[in-house]
Amino acid sequence: MRLSRPTSSKITRVSTTTRAALAFLGIVALVLAGARPASAAAGEEKLDPQTKARIERSEKGAATIGVSKYPQVIQQYYEIF
């Protein structure tokens, strides 16, 4: 199969300066994306013990789920342990 050239007489060329700028922005974005988790971890070190304990309890979730007010159709999907 033979491919033909585009029929449009205008061919857009990207200048070297534009390519360099886009490459630089891409590198900066990758560096900033990689640095973000480190800054989040640093913020956790500043929390007092009470706040850390509250967050830990919250992340564990509820011990039980009360489904008595759910519709009967939904209730049947919850197992009773």
30: amino acid identity, one letter: L
Contact status, residue 43 vs residue 51, Cβ threshold 8 Å: no
Q: Which domain holds residue 71?
A: 16-75
In this model, does residue 50 exceed pLDDT 90?
yes
Q: Does some domain include residue 58?
A: yes
User: Whole-prediction pTM value?
Assistant: 0.32
Q: How many other C-beta atoms lie within 10 A of the C-beta of residue 48?
A: 8
In this model, does residue 64 exceed pLDDT 60?
yes
Query: Mean of the pLDDT values across residues 61-80?
Result: 84
Q: Does some domain include residue 44?
A: yes
Q: Does some domain include residue 11?
A: no
State pLDDT tens for residues 1-49: 566 665 655 667 878 898 999 999 999 888 888 766 655 555 667 888 9
> How many domains does the chain fold into?
1
**Helix boundaries (H) for the chain:** 16-44, 49-60, 72-75
2: amino acid identity, one letter: R
